[in-house]
Amino acid sequence: MNVPIDLDAYFERIAWGGSTDATYETLAGLLRAHMRHIPFENLDVLLGKGIELDVGVLQAKLVRAGRGGYCFEHGTLFAAVLDALGFAPARHSARVVLVAPRSEVPRTHMFLTSPLAEGTFVVDPGFGSLAPAAPLLLRDAPAADASHWMARDGAYWVMRTRKDGRIIDAWTSTLETDNASDFIVANHYIATHPASAFRNRLLLRALTDRGRVSVMNRDVTVVDESGTRTSQLPDRAALRALLAAHFGFDLPAVESLRVPAIDEWR
């Protein structure tokens, strides 16, 4: 299904009424609005549903049905928007190195770059709770107060960020431009392979006007102006209520959701 992006519907979904000129200000504003209104979630993977990367299917799910998705869905949809606006984005894959070295992990993350007058910028709306909220200039010189930045490591570029007072490497890439078929293969692995983290864990993140809400299995973290609060989901009914309250959609199917990492929910 080769359906063009419906920009009017997308702009309504992300509450965007700003400029559509291909400038840094527009790119940064669109990224913030996209991440604020379209959450990160892997519920369809855990429900055993297929994840399709067709733009028409993604619009039906992330735009019209008010759902979220993971990196391949966010990246494909946002790239289609940027294409339509003249940003000429390139699609790339990366190796996530949060818990294992580069030599041990496959390319299972999707991000974009966009060339602008100020330089080339990395755009990564689908990296869950660690996604940068602004485009990252592709240069090996981080600002002192930056939350995310790019760094060189030989032939690789590394996205670095700060977490719990530490600097961590998030993902690494050679910045080779990938084909649509490359993402179809990686997406199939992530959505179906028994060893995939997305097949075994519940992973959710929603940005709010006051902060964010993130979920790892049963652990819920709420960050707002009053600080950070943590709690645990007692059951699937509580998960459904949390989705309605913070993620903007109701999904009755989660009442029978199986999450292998949550023994009590098997």
Q: How far apart are the first and last CA of the chain?
A: 36
Max distance between CA atoms of the chain, in angstroms, equals 53
Is 71 an annotated catalytic residue?
yes
Q: Environment class of residue 159 by beta-carbon count within 10 Å: exposed (0-12), middle (13-18) or buried (19+)?
A: buried
DSSP code for 3: P
Question: If DSSP codes are grouped into helix, strand and coil, which group holds residue 162?
Answer: strand
C-alpha distance from residue 252 to each of 13, 21, 264 (Å): 22, 40, 19
Is 109 an annotated catalytic residue?
yes
Which one of the listed residues 37, 74, 92, 109 is annotated catalytic?
Answer: 109
Which one of the listed residues 6, 37, 44, 71 is annotated catalytic?
Answer: 71
Which one of the listed residues 6, 34, 44, 124 is annotated catalytic?
Answer: 124
Measured CA to CA, the distance from residue 126 to residue 39 in angstroms comes to: 9
Measured CA to CA, the distance from residue 139 to residue 172 in angstroms comes to: 14
Measured CA to CA, the distance from residue 79 to residue 225 in angstroms comes to: 32
Is 6 an annotated catalytic residue?
no
Identify the residue whose tokens are 């519907």: 9
Q: How many CB atoms lie within 10 A of CB 210?
A: 11
Identify the residue whose tokens are 């809400």: 213
Cβ neighbours of residue 224 closer than 8 Å, sequence gap 6 or more:
208, 210, 211
Catalytic residue list: 71, 109, 124
